[in-house]
Structure 1
Amino acid sequence: MNKPKVIKSYENLSEELLEQIKLTYPRGFLRHLISFSDGKGIRQKGLPFETEDKYYLIKMSPAKAKGIIEEDDDFDDAGNLKTKVRDKYLDNQSDLEFLDSNNNEAKREAYE
């Protein structure tokens, strides 16, 4: 099955999707950005994220990726998702199997 590809701005994502993204990228977004061409052929940067039914590219520049993490209270001063926040989000999202196969660093022992 081909999943629909969706390009969205970070600000337009639902809280549920934001939680899933933070669990997938608990150490920040910057090193995970990829280049892509939008519908007009303009090169942009985006954060790839895949759910059970869609493939997302979340538009963000490297500066924006860094700024989001610096300003988000869910992340500590080192840019890592806080343990209490991670645990809460894991409980909220526990029924989503795709998080296990989405390179989800949140459950890796290396995170501890």
Structure 2
Amino acid sequence: MTPNSSKPRVIKDFDKLENHIQEQIKLSYPYGFSDHLIRFTNKDGLYVSALPFETDEKYYLVRMTVERAEEIIEDDDDFDDDGNLRDDVKEEYSDKYSDLDYINTDSDEEEEDSYSKDKPVEEEDDDED
């Protein structure tokens, strides 16, 4: 996923995202988050790991560690014991967000990471969305 440079980049914790964004992220990553985390350097020069997610309006970097990513899936009733989005939930969210074309279905292909360790990213904690 390559972010559109004209879109605002928002860095937020998963728990602080609106519910509809969380649901779309689950639909985009139905087999869990931990294998899709990227690392980048924030504006303070610190390494941060995050899950990339893009909507029509914004490019999100959902701040989380591998451990937190696994914990979110383990504690979420939308996922089964194997860490996969339950079929009934996947169907519900697919119907609910069928008009959106940016949903990435999780695949075995590696995504090209558009952020490198050396490229700082400005953190923007956007509480509006």
Q: Offset at 1:90?
A: 0.8
Match of 1:7 in 2: 11
Aligned equivalent of 1:97, options 96, 101, 105? 101
- SS in structure 2 opposite 1:105? coil
Give structure 1 stretches of 5+ with no counterpart: 107-112
For the aligned residue pairs, the C-alpha RMSD in angstroms reads 1.3
Structure 1 segments (4+ residues) deviating >2 Å = none
Give the fraction of aligned pairs with identical amino acids, expressed as a percent.
49
Using structure 2 for the length normalisation, give the TM-score: 0.76
> Hey, which of these two has a bigger chunk of helix by percent?
1
Find out whether 1:39 has 2:43 as its counterpart: yes
- State the Cα distance separating 1:105 from its structure 2 match: 3.0
- In structure 1, the residue matched to 2:88 is 84
The number of residues matched between the two structures is 103
Which structure ranks higher in relative contact order (CA pairs < 8 Å, sequence separation ≥ 6)? 2
Counterpart CA distance in 1 for 2:96 and 2:20 is 9
